[in-house]
Structure 1
Amino acid sequence: MEVSLDAIDRKILSELQQDASLPLDEIARRVGASKTPVWNRIRKMRNQGVIRKQTVILDPDLLGFESCFFVLIRTSEHEEGWQDKFLNVIRNRPEVMEAHRLAGDIDYILKVRVPNAKGYDEFYQKLISEVKLFNVTATLSMEEIKSTTALPL
């Protein structure tokens, strides 16, 4: 269900996507509205689920997570029990930054952050010991060209 947003809502969301720590006064100034209506709009968008949460974005390299692997997974298992177990495993692995179920030859893709190749191997060994997989292929990202959490409003 799509939520109806006007131009001011979209401006507020754009500002929040760039820096959610901005003071309410500054957001109001940037979008050309007063503080109370902007606060009410933000509260409404939170209640509607448009704004899921606020967080910080950390620098993985500075924190020792220099290696980013994209893990392509094919499975021959499609039963509900297997899928529940698989989803539980990947949701509980802190190395998994993103996980997507795909259409096509590959069933799942994971974005995994680890310190190095040894860290990836440890992740891989634990993964295959916890859940049966048909084929796992990993690709190392050599350079992050673009990374954003901002939607194109």
Structure 2
Amino acid sequence: MARIDDTDRKILKALQEDASRSLDEIAKVVGSSKTPVWNRIRKMREAGIIGAQTVQLDAEKLGFEACFFVLIRTSEHDATWQKAFLKALKERPEVQEAHRLAGDIDYILKVRVSNARAYDTFYQALISEVKVHNVTALLSMEEIKSTTALAL
């Protein structure tokens, strides 16, 4: 675990709220000057604490109205299958998240598409590339909370 102090936490919290803020704004929030804040941000980037900065898009306004959580069970666990499965997931822009799980379900995917027909197209393509034992798709009826922020 990386060692960070209270000032680093304040900087990270400010960046999580709005990474487009200027250094002057962040320094003001943190109670410091611009140069020390910039140096801390640079060091946290170099340490891998801060990754790529992106923008959050409104999926529904862009036509991606359906969010499916896809539960996958497989009877295949060898390296060749796993490599093919991971390749298939990485090549599919519909997959926003993919997690390997402990328990009865092997993987869970978060898939964002325009509608059920688009999900079926995704599903058919996926199962044509890799063998899966069982797939359950759950349609999210309402997104109640979504954040990338960590509780610092």
TM normalised by structure 2 equals 0.99
- Write the letter of the residue equivalent to 2:111: V
Runs of 4+ in 1 over 6 A off after TM superposition: none
Unaligned segments of structure 1, at least 5 residues = none
Alignment of 1:46-85 (within 5 A): 46-85=45-84
Give the equivalent residue in structure 1 for 2:27.
28
Aligned-partner Cα distance in 2 for 1:105–1:58: 33
Unaligned segments of structure 2, at least 5 residues = none
In the TM superposition, residue 52 of structure 1 has moved relative to its aligned partner by 1.0
1:107 aligns with 2:106: yes
Q: Give the SS at the match of 2:63.
A: coil
In the TM superposition, residue 91 of structure 1 has moved relative to its aligned partner by 1.1
Q: Deviations over 1:89-109 (max 9, x none)?
A: 101100000000000000000
Across the two proteins, how many residue pairs are aligned to each other? Answer: 152
- Write the letter of the residue equivalent to 1:36: T
Aligned-partner Cα distance in 1 for 2:51–2:75: 34
Q: Deviations over 1:84-142 (max 9, x none)?
A: 11011101100000000000000000000000000100000000001110000000000
Identity %: 71
**What do you get for the CA RMSD once the two structures are aligned?**
0.4
- Write the letter of the residue equivalent to 2:37: V
In the TM superposition, residue 63 of structure 1 has moved relative to its aligned partner by 0.2
In the TM superposition, residue 68 of structure 1 has moved relative to its aligned partner by 0.2
Give the equivalent residue in structure 1 for 2:41.
42
Give the equivalent residue in structure 2 for 1:135.
134
TM normalised by structure 1 equals 0.99
- Write the letter of the residue equivalent to 1:63: L
